[in-house]
Structure 1
Amino acid sequence: MDHKAFIASLPADTLADLNRRDDAPGLRHLAGHAALITGFGLWIALGLPLWQVALVGQGIAICFLFTLEHEATHKTPFADERLSEWVGRICGVLIALPFEWFRYFHLAHHRHTNVPGKDPELMAGAKPDTIGTYIVHVTGIPFWVDMLDRIIGSAFGRDPGDFVPERAHRRVMVEARWMLLIYGLTVASLFVTPLLFWVWLLPCLLGQPFLRLYLLAEHGRCAFVANMFENTRTTYTNRIIHFLAWNMPYHVEHHTLPQVPFHRLPDLHVHMQGRHKVTSDGYLRFTGEYLNTLKQPLP
């Protein structure tokens, strides 16, 4: 059975129930995630004991807003679509991933998941295949370089890519200009106080490698086929990672039915039991297995 046959097998009332959006779960989750970031930020700002360790925790908490922004591209974190849109935009500013552009990049990824030459994630070089490229990838440096180039280029009217419809070009450009203004004001603020460097900018640099490692598990070393049960991986993990990643470790579930809100993915997982073809027992195990497949040693 492939993912399309699985969807067809679900009763209509079950599918409707799974697809139902709700503000309350998203607002509770958002409040928890925001509280985590605020708590780490205060820990760092006040210079409390082990504040250096808090830098990493803060970076992970901020960088994993990627998963909320990703969810917002589907308009599913909240029943209120305007709320989803604005939360997605704010997350995009915090992690330098422009929401308007990413929306179309990500929808193209769903349309052509793991299809060489069509999936923009594959064309962006997101799946390193040597030790050297793996190390560079995990540092997060290619991400920062690519996104800063993307934002600056979009702000000056550069073509955002074939997957972005022409009607959205102006929105992409306007958002990029607002982001550049915000980043310019941030840099200017550093001449007055280094606070944003310590509670936002440096933590993001430290947290990005953890996000890169997490994201590799979603499709890394999966088959280049159209069946979501084969081209996507669900990773069994703990509640902390499920919280930080807004339940996206249930990634086969998400790709099979992307309109299902994050808080219903555990229920979809139950319905899908026995159908999974690609899973991993935790991110440490996946990382070890991925490293074992790499082709070349360091020079």
Structure 2
Amino acid sequence: MRTMEGFRKELGHIRRPVDGRIFALKLAVLCSLVAGGTALVLSGTAWLMAFGIILLGLMYAHAIELQHEALHGIGLRGSRGNVVAGVLLGIPMLISFAAYRSAHMRHHRLLGTPDNREFFDYGDQYGEGSGSRFRNAVVWVYRFSMIGHYANFLAVCARLAAGRRLPDERPTAMRGIRRDHALLAGVLIAVVTASVVTGSMLAVWLWLLPLVVANPVHALIELPEHYGCDTDTTDSLSNTRSIRSSKLMAWFTNGNNFHVEHHLMPSLPIAQLGELHVALEGRHRFYHRTYREFFRWLLSGGTAGRPGPLLQPSESG
């Protein structure tokens, strides 16, 4: 059987230089939609405000998918640009670019081993657990609310404020983590203080309520990546899932649907993952044609021992 390294060498011709213009366009679209959502919320018309809140929530979740591209250094050509963009993209959901990058790179190295850990703590990350209906309901509420992420953010802030380091983090990563948490905590404190002093509800309408949308949407975007896959192997074709999806969902998830491809070649620019997906036809172990198909499988009782249908691109029409 051909090894992962063999696949990478075989498919190396797909790799092309990073085109920062594509990422810049994604950022421009994001900013435009955030501005549009803000205008709708400020309109004062109930149904327009509701639509604006939903749009902002969707864009906050989308921003984290763009942050993921930046942390791999494949958004813009220069490392400084990726860092600046990544830090700013994480502000709405209080996600440290440096902490996410450090944990995510470990995840890429250690997926399929007992030491693998994800940055976002969803509980029962890969669909391996079992329990009562009540316990399972609690796990899903925990996952979709992202309580674990915000609790960890506050815990890290407290730890850093006390002058303590984080275990397993190198000095270079720690500098970035301190920078990010100082910025995020500063923004949070400034917004809360301004809201209390002025009596304004803008922070609620433009930030808190959109997060009620963004949190479960982000969890849903990341759920299919490894859920129910063979996460006891380092083979990217078996421990990760890809979803062919529509162009709209491929944009919204920023190529996260091509997750096998991303794990196989993590330094490949997002815009080239579709080409790699075609080159891998017939080799995916866990594959779905649409997100709807994946969630139908999940709701029908999908578990780690019951993979999704082995559907290949040629079958999807």
State the TM-score, normalized to the length of structure 1. Answer: 0.88
Which residue of the other structure, out of 70, 76, 79, is the alignment partner of 1:78?
76
1:52-201 aligned at under 5 Å gives the runs 52-115=50-113, 117-121=114-118, 124=121, 125=123, 126-127=125-126, 129-130=129-130, 131-132=136-137, 133-162=139-168, 164-191=169-196, 192=198, 193-201=200-208
Aligned-partner Cα distance in 2 for 1:256–1:58: 32
Q: Is the 8 A contact 2:288 2:294 kept in 1?
A: yes
Which residue of the other structure, out of 10, 24, 34, is the alignment partner of 1:27?
24
Higher deviation after alignment, 193-202 or 83-92:
193-202
Structure with more contact order per residue of length (Cα contacts < 8 Å, sep ≥ 6): 1
How much does 1:2 deviate?
Answer: 4.2
Alpha-carbon displacement from aligned partner over 1:187-241 (angstroms, at most 9, x marks no partner): 1121222223211222012221011112110111110210101111111222222
* Moved >4 Å (runs of 4+): none
Where does structure 1 lack aligned partners over 5 or more consecutive residues?
none
Overall identity of the aligned pairs, in %: 23
Aligned-partner Cα distance in 2 for 1:253–1:294: 22
Alpha-carbon displacement from aligned partner over 1:130-152 (angstroms, at most 9, x marks no partner): 52212321222222222332333
Letter in 2 for 1:99: F
How much does 1:123 deviate?
Answer: 9.7
Higher deviation after alignment, 258-267 or 165-174:
165-174
Q: Is the 8 A contact 2:120 2:149 kept in 1?
A: no
CA RMSD after TM alignment: 2.2
Report the equivalent of 1:258: 266
Report the equivalent of 2:315: none
Report the equivalent of 1:235: 243
Alpha-carbon displacement from aligned partner over 1:55-93 (angstroms, at most 9, x marks no partner): 122112112211111111111011122111101001122
- The structure with the largest helix share of the pair is 1
Aligned-partner Cα distance in 2 for 1:153–1:42: 38
Which residue of the other structure, out of 212, 216, 219, is the alignment partner of 1:212?
219
Q: How many pairs does the alignment contain? A: 289
Q: Is the 8 A contact 1:155 1:174 kept in 2?
A: no
Aligned-partner Cα distance in 1 for 2:141–2:3: 34
Aligned-partner Cα distance in 2 for 1:294–1:273: 24
Q: Is the 8 A contact 1:214 1:283 kept in 2?
A: no
Which residue of the other structure, out of 201, 210, 215, is the alignment partner of 1:203?
210
The change in CA–CA distance for 1:37 and 1:152 in structure 2 (over 3 A counts) is farther
Aligned-partner Cα distance in 2 for 1:55–1:41: 8
Aligned-partner Cα distance in 2 for 1:278–1:65: 26
